[in-house]
Chain A
């Protein structure tokens, strides 16, 4: 009964709110051959598109989790429902994570098919980078109550990886390009913590 209700919510949400984001993420991936070669790449060069470009889908898929209720009229309606708004947002977040994993998985398989030396490590590294960029946007949007600030935060994080480079230390997103993987574990840990903290923090801010 409850699971059926949740499934309906997910279906309705994907159809009315997130379909366009999924489509945009797909367009981003399909446009990648314009900028990068995907075939005959060794393991270090294969990390270029997987770290510097593909993770952008994280911004597109995770930052707008709180977007539909940006309109306060919609939020008033959602608030009046039995199912908590946080549960709906959590489900959106899970859907986005699944989409990131599936899309990057297919992308990596395509690279493999084009004779590039990609491994599970590349897949994992790219997913972590996408989740990190997305989590920054998701967390800032959630805490500030303004999705534009979420986009701003994740774009700033991305820009800083270009301009500050390795000065970012353990949170440097493009580490696989330099044959280093340790950063990914730290980034994943930080992302998980941020993701978990957002919901109670939002509650705390609203209660104030």
Chain B
């Protein structure tokens, strides 16, 4: 009964209507337009099939060695510490450390590098509106004594010197420096992975979750904050506090109502995506459940966490503070996800999990354990936040706590010691 009442309240709120519009709009303009056409089996011929990533240690050491020497000679290292471009210029001391590493990797001494520099032509580039020059370094030697383990240690230190976010980060070496042009056979294999291993809907489910997760990491907080603040706004708090109902039941019913109602538009989009897939590929090779199971497991923790944070911070501070907290979290997540790459880089505590591709099933499965831990962790964290909200709510009902006010008569800035 109470659950239905809360749901009805949410359905009639303007924040929820806007939430639904945004979820539909984002998925229509992003996922549905991206996936409107069927992916066909590659045709043999002189086509560019794209690139593939092979973990070839010799190739990595050679290409990364070239890139590091090129950046060292120009003293211009491009980094993306939070997803945004940053051209790092090092001081003499740090340049000397990089030089030492370049010598160690290549097996050349300072004169050898100078010689290589003098025999290489300078190329002019335009980056934005700014022109710069770089030595066109290619085929730098790799020292015979250099092992891959030592190489990754050096690269990790180089990334540290540059302040992080460089292409030399140890975890990104394979992705950045071990790319090869894809052959026809590899392109067919990639297609087969999507059809046979992912059974079509598995690949699309990941892409759907990626697009939806981006929005669902921020939007639910508005609906939750508006609902939690509504009692105070309409001067109904005292009336609700005096009811016989337990705080636990009150808070958890609201929490359940928020999660259920906010999942509805997402579920409708899942059905639409599933119908679109059937229209494109038919049902013969399709996994009939993947479009519902994976996105639910991926996206529910986002809705639950953003809702729980919204409720808790609104009860303790205010709706504005809840939005601010969630926005900072979302923005940091967005920046770090962008810097880490949008495919298969899911760590244990990434809030916004990204996999913006129909391919790279292996990269996703490589992090499967972390992904499962991550989603279960956020589900548990959201329930813990809801339990804390119960305690805060109980204190407020008993008159022992009136929330921490940032503005007005009793604000923390006006309270006298």
What is A's interface to B at a CB cutoff of 8 Å? 16-17, 19-20, 24, 34-37, 40-45, 48-49, 52, 64, 67-68, 70-74, 117, 144, 146-149, 151-153, 155-156, 159, 162-164, 167, 179
Question: Provided the pairs A19-B413, A36-B84, A149-B226 are in contact, do residues A67 and B407 lie with their beta carbons within 8 angstroms?
Answer: yes
0/1 interface trace, chain B 230-243, chain A, CB 8 Å (1 if under): 00111100000000
List residues of chain B with CB within 8 A of the CB of A156.
Answer: 18, 22, 219
Question: Provided the pairs A155-B218, A162-B334 are in contact, do residues A37 and B319 lie with their beta carbons within 8 angstroms?
Answer: no
List residues of chain B with CB within 8 A of the CB of A17.
Answer: 407
Contact, CB under 8 Å: B319 / A147: yes
0/1 interface trace, chain B 4-46, chain A, CB 8 Å (1 if under): 0000000000110010001000100110000000000000000
- What 8 A-B pairs are tightest by C-beta distance, nearest first? A42-B130, A44-B128, A37-B86, A152-B222, A35-B82, A148-B226, A44-B129, A148-B319
Q: How far is the CA of A73 from the CA of B30 in the complex (A)?
A: 44
Contact, CB under 8 Å: A73 / B235: yes
Q: How far is the CA of A164 from the CA of B225 in the complex (A)?
A: 26
* Minimal Cβ-Cβ distance residue in B for A73: B235
Contact, CB under 8 Å: B335 / A64: no
Closest Cβ of chain A to B209, distance in Å, is 15
How many inter-chain contacts with C-beta < 8 Å in the A-B complex? 107
28 contacts between A and B (CB under 8 A): A16-B411, A20-B407, A35-B82, A35-B84, A35-B335, A37-B88, A40-B87, A41-B87, A42-B128, A42-B130, A48-B84, A48-B85, A52-B84, A71-B232, A73-B235, A146-B14, A146-B226, A148-B226, A148-B323, A152-B222, A153-B18, A155-B222, A155-B327, A156-B22, A162-B334, A163-B26, A163-B29, A163-B214
Q: How far is the CA of A105 from the CA of B406 in the complex (A)?
A: 28
List residues of chain B with CB within 8 A of the CB of A49.
Answer: 84
For window 381-417 of chain B, which residues contact chain A by CB distance below 8 Å? 406-408, 411, 413-414
Contact, CB under 8 Å: B15 / A44: no
Q: Count contacts on B: residues with CB < 8 A to the other chain.
A: 44
**Interface residue? B265 (CB, 8 A):** no
Q: How far is the CA of A40 from the CA of B132 in the complex (A)?
A: 12
**Interface residue? B112 (CB, 8 A):** no
Contact, CB under 8 Å: B82 / A34: yes
* Minimal Cβ-Cβ distance residue in B for A151: B323
Contact, CB under 8 Å: B18 / A152: yes
Contact, CB under 8 Å: A43 / B129: yes
Q: How far is the CA of A137 from the CA of B219 in the complex (A)?
A: 15
Q: How far is the CA of A68 from the CA of B22 in the complex (A)?
A: 28
Contact, CB under 8 Å: A148 / B229: yes
Pick the most buried of B225, B229, B323, B406: most chain A CB atoms within 10 A of its CB. Answer: B323
